Structure 1
Amino acid sequence: MLQGKKAYICSPLSAPNPEGVQHNMELAKYYLMQMKRLYHCRTFASHAHLPLMLDDRIPEERETAMQIAVLMLDLCEVLIICGSHISEGMRSEIQTAFVKGKDIYWYDSKMKPGELMKVENWRDIDDEVQIYT
């Protein structure tokens, strides 16, 4: 299904404290490797590494990070939503992917292990994910 395609990994970064941000970075790295292993695609996730250079709590640096994320998303053919929570940053990435006509999938290893669900619109997942800001 995704073999050889470039996939942008969409998962949360923001957290109430630095430990939470670090945890979310590690989770993004996990999703990078997991999607590559399971679906044989090339994976991209700016938030797996950018927080080492840019501080998400500083508005100008957050905006720069979001611009880099959009550039990476432009390189990709698909976006994969990982997990059951959608942050404000993720919402922006997902909306951008819809506008640009990207294929969008949802992966939740807890609810549906090993399954990748095609998302045609928000209604496909809005009852199953928790959107938070």
Structure 2
Amino acid sequence: MADKTLKDVSEIMKDRDICMLTTTTSNGMLASRPMSNNRQVEYDGDSYFFTWEGSRMVADIEMDNGVNLGFQQGYGLFISITGTAEVTRSREKMEEHWVEDLDKWFEEGLDTPGLAMITVAAKQIKYWQGEDEGEIRL
């Protein structure tokens, strides 16, 4: 078992933009969808995702805020982050994490009606990289 730190995992995640965000649905099933973390390279245990306020994902999180994020690169790196999610509609909080690339999905930028941001606070990070594997609890 390896002893990576949060800083080590942050460096590994630096170029990983897309992950699978998994929620629990109202009927108890798991639902996963690809999400962009906007290349938040200074990973401190929190991940930020923009979405539509009326999405099934938002409804799932407001019912049960336990989520999982799955990152993968090729066959050599896997990261699983278990945490809690919070939905915000606060423009002030969203401004801190907005990047221009998001305009292709949210054409009016931060003024897009129905815009929401999901913050995932990690509680546990598990990683596998070749023979190296480990866990970080936050």
The structure with the greater share of residues assigned to helix is: 1
TM-score by length of 2: 0.29
TM (norm. structure 1) is 0.30
Larger strand proportion of the pair: 2
Larger radius of gyration between Structure 1 and Structure 2: 2
